[in-house]
Chains A and B, each alone.
Chain A
Amino acid sequence: MADDRHLMGLFAEESAAVAAVGAIGESPFRVTKVFSPIPSHRLANALKVKKSWVGLFTLAGGIIGFFSGFLLAIFTASRWGLIVSGKPVVALVPFLIVGFEFTILFAVFGNIIGFLFMTDLPRFDWRRHYDERLSGEHYGVLVVCPAEREDELAALLTKEGAEVRRMEEDGPPGGAADRSEPGPS
C-alpha cells in the first residue's frame, strides 16, 4: 500500500536475526523477506515457513516425463516400423529406459520451474529493498509497517540489535530516502 514503509534490519549474527524474527512475529508488524548469507534452518523455523510446493512440481514433472518418454519412444519406433530380431516395434520392456531417463529429466525441469515460480524469479527489481552487504556476511530482516508506526518499528529493530535501514519506496535504490541508523554498540 502507498502509506506502507519498509525497514531493513541488518544483523551480523544469525542468532540476533532469529531473535528479531521471533520478536516481530509477536508484534503487529509483518516480516516480508529475510536475507541470509547461508542456508539457515534456524531462520526457516523462526519464520514458521509452510512446506514448499516445489516437491509437487518435481513429482508432476517426473510423472509427465515418464509417460512422455514412452510416448516419444513409441512415436519414433512406429514412424519407421522396423522389426529387428523378431521383436515387436512397440516394445515396452526396452522403452522403460527412455521412460526412466525422461522421468529424471522432466523431474529436474519441474523442480527448476517450481523453484522459479514459487520464488517469483526472475526478478529485475532485485535491488529494491536490498543492501549490498546481504551478499556478504550480513543477515537482513525486511519488515513492513504503516507510515505512522515507522519509528516504533525502528525502535524495535534497534532493540534487537539491528542496524536499521529505511528503504526507498518509489524512487531508485540508494536514493536520498535510503538512510541507515546504526544499531546499539
Chain B
Amino acid sequence: MTEDQRIDPAGQIRRGNTAAIVFGVLAVVGVAAFAVTLFGTHPEHAWQAYLINFLLWTGLASGGVVFSAIMQVVGARWSGRMAGIAEAFSAFFPVSFLLFLLLFLGQTHVFPWLHEDLHGKEVWLNVPFLFARDAAGLLILYGTGFCYLYNSLQLRFGSTKGAGRLREGLQQRWARRGIELDAVKRRAGFWALLYCLSFALVISLIAYDLVMAADPHWISTLFGAYSFVKAIYLGLGGLIITASVLYLRNGKDTGLTLDHFHDVGKLFFAFCLVWGDFFYAQLVVIWYGNISEETAYVIERTMLAPWHTAAWAVLLVCFVGPFLILINKKIKTVPMAMIVLCSVVVAGMYLEHMLLLGPAISHGVDTIPIGVSDLLIFLGFFGLMAYAVLTFMQQFPEVARLEKREAS
C-alpha cells in the first residue's frame, strides 16, 4: 500500500459511504422480512426472531463496551487501541433502547406467560411493571455507559480536532469546562466501574425477564450471571471481528499489532471456558437436584426432538470447537481466521437464544423453526449494528486509523 493510498481521505469517505449504504440496505431488508412474517400466518415467528436478535445484539454491544470499561478500571495498557474500538459498540445503545420499547407491540407473542396461571408471580410478571423496570434498567446501563464514554473520549480525543457535529459539540464542551486530565481519568474510572456494575445487574434483569420468564415455572439463580458472562463472550467476539476487519483494511495504520490480537484472543478463549463453566454449573445442579420443575426445562431442550440437535450444535460451536481451536497460539494472530471463528460463535449464540426461547414461544414444532425470514431479520439487525458502529467511526476516525502524526 502506498503512502498516498493510506492517507487518501476522499477514498476513505467513498468506502465509508458505500459501507453505510450496504448496512442500510441490510437493515431495510431485515425490516421488510420482519413485516412480511408479521403479517403472515405465524406472527409469533417474527416476534421470536425479533426478541432473539434484540437479546443477541444488545448483549454484544454492552459486552463490547464492558471490555473498554474493565480496561479502564484496572488500568490495563496491553489492550492498546482495542479499548477504543470496543467503545464504538456504544453507538448501538440508543438503537437497542428503541428496539426494546418496540417489543411492547409484540407482548402477546414474546411473553408466553401472559396466557398462563402464574400462581402468585403476577406481582413480578406483569407487562407494565416489566417494561417499566427493564426500561429503567436499560436507561441506567446506557446512561452510565455514555457517562463513561464522555470521559473516555475526552482522554482519547480531547486534544485533537475533528469534523462532525457530535465531535465538535463534545470538543467545545470539553474546552469550556477545562477539567484537568487527571480529574478526567478519575471520572472515567468511576463511571467505568458503575457501568460494569450496572452491566452485571441490568443484563441479569433482562435475562430473567425476557428469557427465563418465558418458561415462568422454571428457576435458575445462576441464569443472570450466565447471561452477562455470555454477553462478555459475545462482546469480545464482536470486538475481535471489528478489529480484524479494520486491521485487514488499514493494516498497521490501525495502531494494532498481532500481539494485541493474541492477547484479546486469549481473553476470548478464557471467556469461552467461563461460559462453558457457567453452562455446566447450572446443568449439574439441576441434574443432582432432580426436581421435575427444573429438569423438564433441560430435558425438553437437550434430550427431546427437535431441540436436542440445537443443544449439541450450540455446545460444539460455542464451546468445544473454539476451545480446541484456540489452544493454538498462532490462530489467535490470524485476523481472517478469528473473523470466521468469532462469527461462528456469534451464530452459535443466536442458536443458543433460540434454544432457550424457542420451546416456550414455538410450541409443538417438529423442526427447529429457523427459515429464510430469520436469516433476513438477523441480517437486518446486523445492518443496524454495523451502521451504528460505522457512524461512531465516522465521528471518531482515529479509532479505525491512526492520525499521521500518531503513526510517525
Residues on A facing B (Cβ under 8 Å): 59, 85-87, 91, 93-94, 96-97
Interface string of B148-187 (1 = CB under 8 A from A): 0000000000000000000000000000000000000000
B7 at the interface (CB under 8 A from A): no
Distance to closest chain B CB from A138 (angstroms): 31
A-B contact count (CB 8 A): 14
Distance to closest chain B CB from A63 (angstroms): 11
B337 at the interface (CB under 8 A from A): no
A93, A94, A96: most-surrounded residue (chain B CB, <10 A): A93
Q: Are A59 and B290 CB-contacts (below 8 A) given A93-B284, A96-B280, A97-B284?
A: no
A87 CA to B347 CA in the complex, in Å? 35
A97 CA to B280 CA in the complex, in Å? 10
Interface string of B277-290 (1 = CB under 8 A from A): 00010011001101
Interface string of B29-45 (1 = CB under 8 A from A): 00000000000000000
Total interface residues in chain B, CB < 8 Å: 7
B290 touches A87 (CB 8 A): yes
Distance to closest chain B CB from A32 (angstroms): 28
B327 at the interface (CB under 8 A from A): yes
Q: What are the residues of chain A within 8 A of B290 when measuring CB–CB?
A: 85-87
Q: What are the residues of chain B within 8 A of A96 when measuring CB–CB?
A: 280, 284
Q: List CB contacts (< 8 Å) of B109-137 with chain A.
A: none
A93 touches B287 (CB 8 A): yes
Identity of the chain A residue whose Cβ is nearest the Cβ of B330 in the assembled complex: A51
Distance to closest chain A CB from B302 (angstroms): 10
Interface string of B283-309 (1 = CB under 8 A from A): 110011010000000000000000000
Q: Could you jot down 14 A-B contacts, CB within 8 Å?
A: A59-B327, A85-B290, A86-B290, A87-B290, A91-B287, A93-B283, A93-B284, A93-B287, A94-B284, A94-B287, A94-B288, A96-B280, A96-B284, A97-B284
Identity of the chain A residue whose Cβ is nearest the Cβ of B329 in the assembled complex: A55
A86 CA to B338 CA in the complex, in Å? 45
